[in-house]
């Protein structure tokens, strides 16, 4: 994988041939990342929007030397995908700003939040009907008491709908460990809910 | 109960916001590429466990990378998964090309065919075919693994 490191070094040294090779190699990944971020954020986009964001990304990499951040890395695909998505988020923020000119709003807790820093999540749909405020508070206490790994696995499984195998790959754990964590968390939550008098679930 | 947990988490994550504590591009990339020490991993997971913005970025990036990798590995995967079947068919074909070794090639084809049947993928295919022919429902563990 020294090839990538070499390519990055040559791009930083402003070697045009290396840059052309870089664009040819990673263009598709950047394109997919921008499109996926737009779709995931329910942003209505055109081909021109994607091209505009890609232009900005390539400027960051070539003219603003952003590649120095990954000078020592053997693989840069994940980093490239993340910076592309963040650029897409910035682009959406600018569009929202132009459209609304209102950048802050007050959320449920009364806290002022920046609308432009807030992206809609694809998983989040209608408000729950099963939850009442008391149950919500109980679940909050139970989930806060979980270990970091249990909490993360629970989120990936229940919120993002990931299978045990996918979670194992994301967190670099064995499938058995993930299954154990999910089973243990389920039992903990169930026992705590029973203790609090909730039995109908 | 699963629905309850799901609804609770959806309610918590209904606004996904970037904060000043959010992970840097490089930190998240290093986590995905498994390039971190145990302590750094633990620190990043502590943040991920409570930040839906970074979780969202993490899983989307992982999906993009998987899709990207799948496209380039597609044919390699198909050949690798069906290697015993392909070898068996090749041996069967060779038995006709070299009639002198007809029986030998046929025997090898039979043995490789058996290997395919008893390997995980082959058995799964057969179970699915038999269950479908009998009009029974195919268990989800078979379909989930086959989707990969």
- Residue A105 main-chain phi, psi, to 5 deg: -145, 165
Tell if the CB–CB gap between B7 and A33 is shorter than 8 Å: no
pLDDT of amino acid A95 = 84
Mean pLDDT of chain A: 84
Higher pLDDT, A31 or B14: A31
Lowest mean pLDDT among A64-78, A102-116, A164-178, B104-118: A102-116
pLDDT of amino acid B63 = 93
Residues of A whose CB is below 8 A from B59: 156, 160, 162, 170
Tell if the CB–CB gap between A159 and B13 is shorter than 8 Å: yes
Residues of B whose CB is below 8 A from A36: 60, 63-64
Mean pLDDT over A55-62 rounds to 94
Most confident region among A108-122, A147-161, A187-201, B10-24 by mean pLDDT: A147-161
d(CA A10, CA A18): 6
Tell if the CB–CB gap between A163 and B144 is shorter than 8 Å: yes
Question: Is residue B8's pLDDT more than 90?
Answer: no
Higher pLDDT, B80 or B113: B113
Tell if the CB–CB gap between A121 and B148 is shorter than 8 Å: no
H or E segment and range at residue A29: helix A16-40
Question: Is residue A108's pLDDT more than 90?
Answer: no
pLDDT of amino acid A196 = 82
**DSSP line for B37-74:** -HHHHHHHHHHHHH-HHHHHHHHHHHHHHHHHHHHHHH
Higher pLDDT, B10 or A103: B10
Which of A148, A175, A196 is the best mutation test for B, with the most CBs of B within 10 A? Answer: A148
Lowest mean pLDDT among A53-57, A103-107, B107-111: A103-107
Question: Is residue B35's pLDDT more than 90?
Answer: no
Lowest mean pLDDT among A74-83, A102-111, A140-149: A102-111
CB contacts < 8 A, A to B, total 151
Share of chain B above pLDDT 70, in %: 84
Share of chain A above pLDDT 90, in %: 58
Question: Is residue B81's pLDDT more than 60?
Answer: yes
> Which class for A195: exposed (0-12), middle (13-18), buried (19 or more C-beta within 10 A)?
exposed
Residues of B whose CB is below 8 A from A35: none
Mean pLDDT over A115-128 rounds to 50
Nearest to A77 by CA among A145, A133, A28, A119: A28
Question: Is residue A126's pLDDT more than 50?
Answer: no
Mean pLDDT over A39-61 rounds to 93
Question: Is residue A92's pLDDT more than 50?
Answer: yes
Nearest to A200 by CA among A143, A130, A133, A117: A130
Confidence band of B11 (pLDDT split at 50, 70, 90): confident
Residues of A whose CB is below 8 A from B6: 158-159
Confidence band of A125 (pLDDT split at 50, 70, 90): very low
Give SS3 for B17: strand
Residue B17 bridge partners (DSSP): A118
pLDDT of amino acid A179 = 93
Nearest to A107 by CA among B52, B18, B11, B15: B15
d(CA A78, CA A84): 10
d(CA A68, CA A142): 43
Mean pLDDT over B79-105 rounds to 91
Which of B25, B28, B46 is the best mutation test for A, with the most CBs of A within 10 A? Answer: B25
Q: Which residues lie below 8 Å from residue A132, measured CB to CB, with a gap of 6+?
A: none
Alpha-carbon gap: A17 to the closest alpha carbon of chain B (Å): 24
The sign one gets for the Cα dihedral A154, A148, A33, A84 is positive
Mean pLDDT over B64-80 rounds to 76
Mean pLDDT of chain B: 83
Q: Which residues lie below 8 Å from residue A12, measured CB to CB, with a gap of 6+?
A: A65, A67, A68, A71
The nearest alpha carbon in chain A to B49 belongs to: A152
Confidence band of B139 (pLDDT split at 50, 70, 90): low
Prediction pTM value: 0.68
Q: What is the ipTM of this complex?
A: 0.80
Confidence band of A193 (pLDDT split at 50, 70, 90): confident
Question: Is residue A127's pLDDT more than 50?
Answer: no
Confidence band of B125 (pLDDT split at 50, 70, 90): confident
Residue A178 tokens, joined: 């993930």
A118-119/A104-106 β-pairing: unpaired
């Amino acid at each position: 994988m020294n090839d990538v490191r070499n390519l990055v070094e040559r791009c930083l040294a402003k070697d045009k041939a290396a840059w052309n090779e870089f664009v040819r190699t990673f263009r598709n990944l950047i394109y997919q990342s921008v499109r996926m971020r737009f779709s995931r954020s329910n942003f209505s986009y055109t081909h021109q929007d994607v091209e505009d964001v890609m232009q900005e990304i390539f400027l960051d990499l070539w003219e603003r030397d952003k590649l120095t951040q990954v000078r020592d890395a053997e693989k840069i695909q994940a980093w490239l995908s993340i910076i592309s998505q963040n650029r897409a988020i910035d682009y959406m923020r600018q569009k929202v700003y132009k459209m609304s000119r209102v950048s802050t709003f007050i959320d449920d807790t009364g806290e002022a939040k920046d609308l432009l820093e807030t992206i809609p999540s694809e998983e989040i749909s209608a408000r729950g009907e099963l939850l009442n405020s008391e149950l919500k508070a109980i679940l909050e206490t139970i989930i806060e008491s979980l270990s970091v790994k249990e909490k993360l696995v629970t989120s990936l499984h229940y919120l993002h709908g990931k299978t045990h195998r996918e979670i194992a790959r994301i967190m670099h754990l064995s499938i058995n460990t993930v299954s154990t964590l999910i089973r243990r968390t389920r039992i903990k939550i169930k026992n705590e809910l029973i203790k609090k008098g909730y039995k109908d679930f | 109960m699963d629905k309850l947990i799901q609804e609770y988490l959806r309610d918590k994550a209904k606004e996904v916001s970037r904060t000043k504590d959010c992970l840097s591009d490089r930190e998240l990339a290093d986590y995905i590429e498994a390039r971190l020490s145990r302590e750094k991993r633990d620190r990043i997971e502590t943040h991920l466990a409570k930040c839906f913005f970074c979780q969202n970025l993490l899983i989307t990036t992982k999906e993009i990378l998987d899709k990207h990798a799948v496209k380039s590995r597609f044919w390699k995967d198909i050949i690798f998964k069906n290697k015993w079947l392909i070898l068996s068919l090749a041996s069967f074909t060779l038995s006709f090309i070299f009639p002198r070794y007809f029986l030998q090639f046929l025997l090898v084809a039979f043995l490789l065919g058996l290997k395919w049947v008893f390997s995980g993928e082959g058995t799964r295919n057969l179970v699915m075919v038999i269950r479908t022919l009998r009009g029974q429902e195919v268990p989800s563990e078979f379909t989930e693994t086959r989707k990969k």
